[in-house]
Structure 1
Amino acid sequence: MTEIPQERRVVTAIPGPKSLELQARRTATVAAGVGSTMPVFAERAGGGVLEDVDGNRLIDFGSGIAVTTVGSSAEAVVRRASAQLADFTHTCFMVTPYEEYVAVCEELAALTPGDHAKKSALFNSGAEAVENAVKIARSHTGRQAVVVFDHAYHGRTNLTMALTAKNMPYKNGFGPFAPEVYRVPMAYPYRWPTGAENCGPEASAQAIDQISKQVGAQNVAAIIVEPVLGEGGFIEPAKGFLPALARFARENGIVFVADEIQSGFCRTGQWFACEDEGIVPDLITTAKGIAGGLPLAAVTGRAEIMDSAHPSGLGGTYGGNPVACAAALGAIETMKELDLPAKARRIEEVMKDRLSAMREKYDVIGDVRGRGAMIAIELVKDRATKEPATETAAALAKACHQEGLLVLTCGTYGNVLRFLPPLVIGEDLLGEGLDIIEQSLAAL
C-alpha cells in the first residue's frame, strides 16, 4: 500500500517541469478529444492526497470523479486485488465463472435498497451499466420509450449520449443519437421559476403530464434518474419529486431506474442516495466508488426484472473482471469497517458550515448544496437574475489548482464547483482545502 504523508506541499509551479515534459509527450500521442482537468501527472496517491511527478502534494477534492471513495490505495483493496492478480487476471465469467463475481453480486443484493429478491449483472463502466439497464427494462416490459431529465448525465456511448442532457462537451457533433428517448423537467430548487418551496410538486406534475401526453405511460419502458445529479450540477431534487415519479412508474408498469453511479456507495452519507426519501428502485446502476479505482459497474434489481433478458443477452468480455471484483470486495470491506456513511455526513457538516459562511461574504456564491461528501457551490453574476458565472467558476478552479487543491467544475452552465473528497480524508486537510477556496474567492 502507498504510504504518503497527509499534507499539502507545493514545491514547483503547477504544473511543474516533469509534468510539462509529460504533457508534451501526451500532446504528441494522445487524441486531443481526451481532456484533463489539470495537466499534472500523478505519481502516487493515498488518503486525501495526490502526489505529482514533480513532488507536489495536492489536496484531493475530486476522488477521480467520486471513484476513490476509500482513498487511492486502500489497504483492503490493494491486498485483495494483489492476491487475485497472483491467482489469475481473467477467464471471462461467461466462459468459466469465478467466486469473486458471485460474491460482489451477493454484497449488492444485501446493500442496495429493498428487501425483495435481487440479482445483478456486472460490467466495466457506468455508461455500460445504464445501457444494460435500458436493455433489461425493454426486455421486461416489451416497451421502447425511455424517460430522462433536464440536467441529466448518463454517459458517453451513443445511447447514453442520447440520455445525457448537456451538449458540450458530451454530444456536440457526435449524432445521430439513439431514438425513443424523451426528456422532462427536473426539480432544480435553486432555479425553479416559482421558488424552491413549490419545486417538488410542480416539477413532478409537469414531468408526469409530459410523459402522459407526449409519450404515453403505456409506451414507457424505463424512467431513469440520478437521485442526486452529478455532472448536471450536484442538484438535489426537491423533496417529493422522486417519490411521485416512483409512484407513477409503479402504477403504470414502468421500470424505475436509479442511476447511482456518482452518488452511490456511501458518497451522500447513506449507502445509496435514493434511501433519503425511502425510494426503492426497480433497478439501480452503480460504478465509480464500487471498486476503489478499478473498472467495475453493476446493474442490480428485482430478480424477476433482471431475469427478463434471455441467456447470453447480457455480458461482455471484461464485465466483472476478477481483479476488479476482488477490489470491490476490499472497498466494501473498508466502507463497513470505517463506517464511511458517517464519515460522509461529517464531511457535509464541516463543508456546508464553511461554505455557507462564505456565501454570506461573497455574492458570487448563489447556492450551497449537496449531501454527504457530494457538495457544490453554484456561482452567479447576480443573485437576483441568477445569471451563471461560468468564467468565474473556471478562474476559481484554476486558482485552487495553483495552490495545490484539486477541485472540479460541473453544471449545465459550467458554473458549479463540485467537491468530492475521499471519505477517508483527514479533517485538517479538509479544513485547509476550504481555506484555499476562501482565499481564492477573496483574491478573485
Structure 2
Amino acid sequence: MTGVLNSNLAERRGAALSRGVGVMTGVYADQARNAEIWDVEGRRYIDFASGIAVVNTGHCHPRIVEAVRAQLDRFTHTCHQVVPYENYVALAERLNALVPGEGEKKTVFLTTGAEAVENAVKIARAATGRSAVIAFTGGFHGRTFMGMSLTGKVFPYKAGFGAMAGDVYHAPFPVPLHGISTEASLAALDQILKSDLDPARVAAILLEPVQGEGGFYPAPPAFMAALRAICDKHGMLLIADEVQTGFARTGRCFAMEHHDVAADLTTMAKSLAGGFPLAAVTGRSDLMDAPQAGGLGGTYGGNPLAIAAAHAVLDIIEDEGLCDRANLLGARLKQRLESLREKVPEIADIRGPGFMNAVEFNQPDSDQPNPEFANTVRARALERGLILLTCGVRANVIRFLAPITIEDAVFNEAMDVIEETLLASHAAQRGTRETAAS
C-alpha cells in the first residue's frame, strides 16, 4: 500500500493526461504477481485482462524478471542499428523457426503492434511494387495513421482524425452470428475487386486470425483458405496480424497454426516479451529483404531488455506447456459459461480457441445487441474484485484474457465471480424490464 487513494490519483490523472488516453477501470496498480493485482489502497483483484493479452506468462514471472535483471547489469541500449547484439539475432532465429510457413524466413524487431503492422505494409509494398491493402470490418490494427486506417471500426479510433490513409479498402469479416457468412464475405471481396480495385494494384490482404477488439471472432478455416487462394491467384501477400493472438493464447503458439494455410508476413507484439515493449514482423526471406537497408527499424526496436524478456517467454511457453494449459483453461471457462445459458438468456454466443474466449450478449429472445448488459457485467465483476474487458463493434462482448499461468485456485475463484455476476446482472435487467412493463 502507498497511502494514496485511487480517487486522488484519478483526479490528478484528469488534470495531467490527455482525455484521448482512456482508462477502463479506476484501479491504480501498486503491485502484481501472476494473475493478481493489488491497488494502491491494498485491494486485491484477479486480472482477466492481462494488460490486453500482454502478460500471457503472468505478472512478474520469476524467469522473465531474472532474464531482464541479468541483461540490465550488462547494457540497456545501444540501438541495434548502431551497435548490434547477439540476443537480438538469436531471438530472430527462434521466431523464424516458430512462425508458421515453409521456407526460409527473416525477422525485424520494432516496439509496438501498430508499428509492426505499419512495417508489414511497407514490406508488402516494397516486395510487390503495389500500394493497395485490403483489411476487414471489425479488425483492429493500431492507432497510428496507417493502423487506424486499416482498423475497421470508427469510434473511438477514427473519429475526429480527418482523412485516412489512401489505398485502404475494407471487406466484411465473416460473422455468422451477425448474418455474415463466409460466402457473403467472399462475395463482397470479389465485388470490391471487380468494381473498386484492380487486383493487380493490391499489395496485401491483412487480417487477424481471431479478431481482437472487434469481438473475438475466429476466421473460419474455409475463409482463410479462400484468402490464401485469392492472394496466390493475383500475386497478393497474406498478412496475419497475430499481435493479440500470438504466443499460446489460442492453444497454439500462433493462431495461424489452426489453419491449413500460412501467411506470407506475420506481425506480433503484446505477449512476445511478457510486458516489455517489443514487436516483430516475420516473413519469407525474399519479402523481408525487399526494403533497402535503413528502410526498416527504429531507435528502440529490439531493445535488449525486451529481447531478453522474450527469450524467457518462449522458454516458459515450452517448459510450462502453456499451449496445452490454454486449451484446458479455455475448455473449463466455456463449459462453465455454457452451464449458465438457460439461466442467463442474454447469452447469445460463447466462443474462442484456446484461452482467447468471449461471451456475447443480446437482448433476451432477440438478435439485438445488449451492450448495457455487457457493461453491467464488467462493472459488477470489478466490484467483486475481477477485472474484465468489453469489446466488439457493438460493445456487447466480454472477453477473457487471464494469464495462461493462472493458478487453479485463483481461476476457480474467478469462475465463481463470473457466475455470480452474470446471474445478478440478469436478475437486475429482468427487474428493470418488468418495472418498465408495469
Same fold (TM over 0.5): yes
**Corresponding residue number in structure 1 for 2:144:** 157
Q: In structure 1, what residue type is equivalent to 2:315?
A: E
Deviation readout 1:194-249 (Å, 9 max, x if unpaired) = xxxxx233322332342343212111001000000000000012330111101110
Distance in 2, Cα, partners of 1:406 & 1:211 = 43
| CA apart distance, 1:27 | 1.6
Determine helix, strand or coil for the equivalent of 1:387. Answer: coil
Residue 14 (structure 2) pairs with residue 27 (structure 1): yes
| CA apart distance, 1:434 | 1.9
Where does 1:40-439 land on structure 2 (aligned, <5 Å)?
A: 40-192=27-179, 199-384=181-366, 386-439=367-420
**Corresponding residue number in structure 1 for 2:436:** none
Q: In structure 1, what residue type is equivalent to 2:398?
A: L
Q: In structure 2, what residue type is equivalent to 1:319?
A: G
Q: In structure 2, what residue type is equivalent to 1:315?
A: G
| CA apart distance, 1:47 | 1.5
Distance in 1, Cα, partners of 2:20 & 2:365 = 35
Distance in 1, Cα, partners of 2:10 & 2:419 = 30
Distance in 1, Cα, partners of 2:156 & 2:363 = 23
Distance in 2, Cα, partners of 1:422 & 1:256 = 29
Distance in 2, Cα, partners of 1:359 & 1:140 = 49
Distance in 2, Cα, partners of 1:257 & 1:246 = 10
**Corresponding residue number in structure 1 for 2:428:** none
| CA apart distance, 1:429 | 1.7
Q: Is the 8 A contact 2:343 2:423 kept in 1?
A: no
| CA apart distance, 1:442 | 1.6
Q: In structure 1, what residue type is equivalent to 2:389?
A: L
Distance in 2, Cα, partners of 1:373 & 1:65 = 13
**Corresponding residue number in structure 2 for 1:7:** none
Distance in 1, Cα, partners of 2:261 & 2:62 = 33
Determine helix, strand or coil for the equivalent of 1:278. Answer: coil
Deviation readout 1:142-191 (Å, 9 max, x if unpaired) = 00100000111000001111101111111110122110000001111211
Unaligned segments of structure 2, at least 5 residues = 426-438
TM normalised by structure 2 equals: 0.94
| CA apart distance, 1:443 | 1.5
Q: In structure 2, what residue type is equivalent to 1:422?
A: P
RMSD: 1.4
Distance in 1, Cα, partners of 2:162 & 2:243 = 24
Aligned residues: 424
Distance in 1, Cα, partners of 2:395 & 2:187 = 28
Determine helix, strand or coil for the equivalent of 1:434. Answer: helix
Distance in 1, Cα, partners of 2:219 & 2:108 = 28
Q: In structure 2, what residue type is equivalent to 1:67?
A: V
Determine helix, strand or coil for the equivalent of 1:378. Answer: strand
Distance in 1, Cα, partners of 2:150 & 2:302 = 24
Q: Which moved more, 1:256-265 or 1:101-110?
A: 101-110
Determine helix, strand or coil for the equivalent of 1:96. Answer: coil
Unaligned segments of structure 1, at least 5 residues = 1-10, 194-198
**Corresponding residue number in structure 1 for 2:429:** none
* Distance 1:357-1:78 versus aligned 2 partners, 3 A rule: same
Determine helix, strand or coil for the equivalent of 1:122. Answer: strand
Determine helix, strand or coil for the equivalent of 1:345. Answer: helix
Distance in 1, Cα, partners of 2:331 & 2:161 = 41
Q: In structure 2, what residue type is equivalent to 1:414?
A: A
TM normalised by structure 1 equals: 0.93
